[in-house]
Structures are given as C-alpha cells and as structure tokens.
Amino acid sequence: MAQQPNLSSYFQPQNATIANDQYKFVFTVNEAISEGVTEHKRLPELIQKAMSLARAPISTYKVGAVGRASSGQVYLGVNVDFPGLPLHHSIHAEQFLVANLALNFEEGLSHLAVAVSTDGIEFGTPCGHCCQFLLEISNAPEIKILTRSSKHVEGSLTSLKRLLTDRFTPDRILPNGTPFLLEKRDNCLSLPISASGETLAAEYYCYHLKRKALAAANNSFSPYTDSPSGVALLDDKGNVYSGWYIESVASNPSLGPVQAALVDFVARGRGKGFDKIVGAVLVEKNDARVSQEGTAKMLLETIADRNCFFKVFHCYVMP
C-alpha cells in the first residue's frame, strides 16, 4: 500500500496564477496573438515552444503540434515516451493535442501544424497513424494541415480530405446520429454502492479519485467496442488528473485512458516527473470487450512512484 498523500492539501484548488508560462499548453485567442499567432499560417510561431515541452527520451525526434480549435483557442501537443516501455505505448503529438482538446471540451479542430524535426523550421504532414486518429473528429475532412519547407517559409495548407483520398471513416461503421469525437456525450455510467473493505484513510482519497474516474468514463469515446473507461491520477501534492479512453475506427491508433490522463498530467503538472504519481483509479465496465486494467497496471508500475496504489472499479449503464 502506498504512503498516504498529504490529505491536508488534497482539496486545495490548484493555483491558476502561474508566474511564467514555460509549461503552457492552452492559449486563449489574445494569448496566441501575443505569441505571434495572428492567423492560421502563424501557428508555427509556437512550434518551438511545443517541441521544448516534449518528453522524448527514446524517440529520435522531439515532436511539437500546434492546433487552432473551432473556438479560436490554440492548443499544443507533444510526443511523450515512457522509459522502460516499447514505443507503441508512447503518445504521438497529434494524439496529445486531440486529447488536450477533448479534456478542455473543445468541439472541433480547424488548423494543425506538426513539426517532426530538430529545428522546427521544416515540417510536413502528420503520420498515417495520426491522420487516421484525426478522422474521429466530426469536421476531420476539412481540417487544414500546414506544411512548410526551408524554400517556402510561409508554408502551404492542405486538407485531411486531400491527404486521405480513400478514407476509412467512422461513418462506414457507426449508425447515423452517433456523436463523433469532441461532440457532447454521456455514457450514463454509474458505480454500485458497496462496502470497499478499505481502511478509512484509503477510502477517503480513493472515493474522490473514483468519482473523477467515473466522470472521465462518462466522457469516454468508445463507439466501436462499447468499452468506455476513465482514469484519475493523484500526485504527491494531492492534485488530481484525469482522462478517458479514445477509440479509433482503425483500432491501433486508439488512446488508452492512462495515456489520456497522462496528457492532463503533462499539460497541468508543471514539468513534474511521472514518479510523482502516487495513486490511480480506473473505472470501466465489468463486461468490457476491451479491458484497460492490464495495460494501465503495466504503465503505472513502470513509470509511477514505486508505492503507487492502483484501484479498479467496475461501473454499469444506468437503466
């Protein structure tokens, strides 16, 4: 059992006033303008900042992604590796950016710039894995991708529709009217009321992580396997981070709930190492076609505090 976190700080709100913006992942319209992003072709003004925030101890390159949401706000995405684990568990920068949009309840993505390079000057289109992941967004075919070479510094725009001319899209499988990724959804999940058998102190903080993980599971995008799940993470200062499972129609590009919660951790954790994670709760359906328990446990055992506790709670669909 992990050492109890500092419960006196557990319910204190995180400080929203930050002396500097070194770790900033979300920019309001005015903040983006102050950074030089006055129009979509200026998104690369934030590429270097994004690349500096990447956590890529294994990958060849640090990858930065900058996207303008339909609201006009600008979001960053970065690639994240997990030392000790194969790269297929890593988070691509575009996946990070989309999860960042989802966690902030944005409704769409209009423009995207991605740099896979050492200097952030010359960059092309997202990889096929991420192009497929982007297709889960309702306006995906119209998302404009900015590419740039050293000979054409201004860059040029192309649509995802042009990049993927014969697309494997969600509407080939999903019934009409099914909400797309980033669209409002409620999976109507609830947790049974039962005695946990935990000590009073353990139940004290597990209860709140459980509620947060349940809320995440209710936002989970899992229309293909009907296996919604959510994760809540606790750091050593009592701060809570959460995320939910995001599926792809092509299966492999799907983003697990722990990885999504780690997007929240990286975006709001002010540069903290993963070893500062001291607790985690997973909420998923008991009969889920895709269970996240094994993968979640493996990830946390590898990257989190060695005494990190991990609890799994099974939810059900409310009638």
Catalytic residues: 94
Helix H or strand E encompassing 115: strand 109-116
Query: β-strand 277-285 against 229-235: which pairing, if any?
Result: antiparallel
CA-CA distance, 62 to 48, in Å (whole number)?
A: 10
Helix residue spans in 16-57 (DSSP H)? 29-34, 47-52
Distance of CA 83 to the CA centre of its chain: 19
CA distances (Å), origin 20, targets 16, 23, 287, 304: 11, 8, 46, 27
What six digits make up the tokens of 269? Answer: 């954790």
Q: What are phi and psi of 66, to 5 degrees?
A: -130, 125
Q: Which residues pair with 114 in a beta bridge?
A: 65
C-beta of residue 285 within 8 angstroms of C-beta of residue 220? no
- How far is 29 from 73, CA to CA, in rounded Å? 5
Which among 226, 240, 233, 243 is positioned nearest to 291, based on CA atoms? 226
Residue 137 is classified by DSSP as B
